[in-house]
Structure 1
Amino acid sequence: MLTDHYEQIEAIGLDVAIIGLFLLMAYVVHDVLKKNNVPLIGKVVVYFVLFLGAAGFIFKGIMQLVIEG
């Protein structure tokens, strides 16, 4: 049974790992911005860029579902 669903398990594991990496990056960025007293506009720009990276992966996943399904 495990060998039948190997690709699906691998895809889910990859998605979970990417989500974990983005959460870790968000935490690290938040910590660095907090320690260095960055102004609000700087925080907004940094979080927006981080969001764009995450949105790219989300869009890629949606496109894969549309194309494969």
Structure 2
Amino acid sequence: MFSDNLEQIESLMTNFAIAILFLLIGLAIQDVLKKGNVPRFGRFFVWLVLFLGMAGFIAKGVIQFVVEANIH
């Protein structure tokens, strides 16, 4: 059973690891922004870029899931 689902488990763990990486990047950025006294305007764009990167990653996963579901 494990060998049958190995590809799905690998994909799930990769996505989980990338989600943790996004969280750690967000925490690091928050710390740098606080210590650097960055104005609100700059903080907004930093978080916007981070959010768009994460949204792109999620969109890629959804699109990949839909395409693979239609093939099989």
What's the TM-score, normalizing by structure 1? 0.96
Which runs of structure 2 are paired with 1:45-64 in the superposition (5 Å)? 45-64=45-64
SS, match of residue 12 in structure 2: helix
Matched with 2:6 is: 6
How many residue pairs are counted as aligned between the two chains? 69
Q: Percent identity?
A: 52
Give, in whole Å, the separation in 1 of the partners of 2:7 and 2:68: 14
Please tell me whether residue 25 in structure 1 is matched to residue 38 in structure 2: no
Structure 2 residue ranges without an equivalent (≥5): none
Amino acid at match of 1:2: F
Give the Cα separation in 2 of the matches to 1:12 and 1:47: 26
1:67 aligned residue: 67
Listed one character per residue, the Cα deviations across residues 5-32 of structure 1 (whole Å, up to 9, x for unaligned) are 1001000000001100000000000000
For 1:41, the equivalent position in structure 2 comes to: 41
Runs of at least 5 residues in structure 1 that lack an aligned partner in the other structure:
none
What is the Cα-based RMSD across aligned positions, in Å? 0.6
Distance in 2 of aligned mates of 1:20 and 1:33: 20
